[in-house]
Amino acid sequence: MSKFVWCVVLLVAVSAVVAECTLENPDNGGPCGKFSTLRMLTHKLRHCEKAARDVNVAPSAQCCNDVAQVDIPCLYAVFCSDAFKQVGVDPKVAITIPWRCHHPHY
Average pLDDT over the chain reads: 76
Distance of CA 86 to the CA centre of its chain: 15
106 band by pLDDT with thresholds 50, 70 and 90: low
pLDDT of residue 18: 45
To the question of pTM greater than 0.85 for the whole model, the response is: no
Q: How many Cβ atoms are within 10 Å of 48's Cβ, its own excluded?
A: 26
Torsion angles phi and psi, residue 88, rounded to 5: 85, 20
pLDDT of residue 34: 84
* More confident: 104 or 59: 59
| Tens digits of residue pLDDT in 60-76 | 999 999 999 888 888 88
Q: Are 48 and 94 in contact (CB under 8 A)?
A: yes
